[in-house]
Amino acid sequence: MASFQKYNTKKGQLWLFKIDLGKDPESGGRLTTTRRGFKTKKEAQQAALKLTQEISNGLSLNSNDLTYKEVFDQWFSNHSKTIKASTKKSIESKFNKHILPRFGQLKIREITKPYCQKMINEIAELITSVNDIKIQANQVFKYALKMDIISMNPLEHVSIPRQQKELINNENEVDKRNYWKKDEIKQFLKIAKQELSFRDHTLFHLLIYTGARKGEILALTWDDIDFEAGSIRFTKTLFHNKGNFIFQTSKTKESRRLISLDTKTISLLKKWRIRQIETDLANVNKDDENKMIFTRDDGTPLRLAYPNEKLEIVIKKHNLYRITIHGLRHTHASLLFEAGASIKEVQERLGHSDIQMTMNIYTHVTDTLKEQTAQKFQRYIEL
């Protein structure tokens, strides 16, 4: 049963209510909960009735003072056991940088919808991936709801503000492309062959000719290459965490794939394998099949940032069109489309689990492909 009481504050008189929750099974004493800050007794009575109904529906009040951070710790201690080290590191980074500084010390039951909307608006002004931040923060609220710590998710109906640039119609603005066109890729490969080490030239050639992720390329061992069949197998990825190199299995079954290699790439890999053996004569009699394809001079894996840094150096030195390492993957896809490959073929080669990912690249395909579309129509109609 609830009891109601008037009390004085600097802002005037307000109302509170207390509810008896029964006996504490551990201490044997009585358990009560108090809610304050109601302007009228009627407001207090309505809130008390709602809370009483929630308690009868299973809401737990033993966690009344839990902060968002404490609930996060509960959730993440379980969730982290089900994900890979790279995913764990990524999630921790998002929470530590954007979510916990804004929600961490607040009692999770006292976080309101307006406060959540305000926080999301603030984050949206800082980063473009605000929707991902909302998804991560929402997992903690969902967990709290599931565990009867809260009765309502304040983040559920919060909207993502649109970026200002999305609201401005600028006809002169050209979409920034993150891929190279055919002549640009030829120029880069020519420079790589002339100026980079044979290892780095082979590394970039493989990135461009397979469209694989850099973590997949850096995790390759020689037993992943079938020289007779002319194929390469991607089943793992390299991840660096706290000074340690970790080899993880690919995230999805689609990422674990076997794709064909062209004769030029096979020839290049054969030459690199011979050079690698010649520079490591001490291991010539050892099993070479499990040896990593791309390593430092001491045989340890290359840093994940290494290809990014090398690419940036070449771009800056030769004033090339600026793209990222991931842009080489998009380059491979766009050139496949130009060569006539189907969306399904590109999806399987790149290891996309969702065909929409492939479609997104297709919609940003090069001007050459668009020109070919017009030429195809002309050839067909003039037959």
pLDDT digits (tens, 9 = 90+) for 282-313: 554 455 557 899 998 888 899 989 999 999 99
State the Cα torsion 371-376-379-382 to the nearest 10°. Answer: -100
How far does the chain reach from its first CA to its final CA, in angstroms? Answer: 88
CATH architecture of 182-377: Orthogonal Bundle (1.10)
Tell me whether strands 231-234 and 12-23 are parallel, antiparallel or unpaired. unpaired
Q: Which amino acid is at 290?
A: N
Query: How high is the pLDDT of residue 318?
Result: 96
Residue 241 has pLDDT above 80, yes or no: no
Residue 228: which pLDDT band, with cuts at 50, 70 and 90?
very high
Domain residue ranges in the chain: 2-56, 71-167, 182-377
Residue 174: which pLDDT band, with cuts at 50, 70 and 90?
very low
Greatest CA separation for the chain: 93
Query: How high is the pLDDT of residue 169?
Result: 44
Average pLDDT over residues 45-66: 71
Across 18-32, 219-233, 320-334, least confident range: 18-32
Query: How high is the pLDDT of residue 64?
Result: 59
Identify whether the C-beta of residue 83 lies closer than 8 Å to the C-beta of residue 89: no
Residue 336 has pLDDT above 80, yes or no: yes
> Which of 41-50, 188-197, 285-294 holds the top average pLDDT?
188-197
Residue 351 has pLDDT above 70, yes or no: yes
Query: How high is the pLDDT of residue 25?
Result: 55
Query: How high is the pLDDT of residue 136?
Result: 94
Residue 170: which pLDDT band, with cuts at 50, 70 and 90?
very low
Residue 368: which pLDDT band, with cuts at 50, 70 and 90?
low
Across 27-31, 232-236, 319-323, least confident range: 27-31
Residue 247: which pLDDT band, with cuts at 50, 70 and 90?
confident
Q: Extract the tokens encoding 15.
A: 């109302």
pLDDT tens digit sequence for 81-122: 888 787 888 899 999 999 999 999 999 988 999 999 999 999
* Long-range contacts of 274-277, Cβ-Cβ distance < 8 Å, separation of 24 or more: 275/198, 276/199
How far, rounded to the nearest angstrom, does the alpha carbon of residue 134 sit from its chain's CA centroid? 13
Average pLDDT over residues 338-353: 86
Q: What is the DSSP string of 291-350?
A: SBSSB-TTSPBPPTTHHHHHHHHHHHHHTPPP--HHHHHHHHHHHHHHTT--HHHHHHHH
The CATH superfamily label for domain 71-167 reads Tyrosine recombinase, N-terminal domain (1.10.150.130)
Mean pLDDT for all residues in the chain: 83
Query: How high is the pLDDT of residue 55?
Result: 67
Residue 52: which pLDDT band, with cuts at 50, 70 and 90?
confident
> CB burial class (10 A; 0-12, 13-18, 19+) of residue 235?
middle
Predicted TM-score (pTM) of this structure = 0.60
Residue 208: which pLDDT band, with cuts at 50, 70 and 90?
very high
> CB burial class (10 A; 0-12, 13-18, 19+) of residue 34?
exposed
Average pLDDT over residues 354-363: 73
Across 62-66, 149-153, 186-190, 274-278, least confident range: 62-66
* 3 state SS of 38: strand
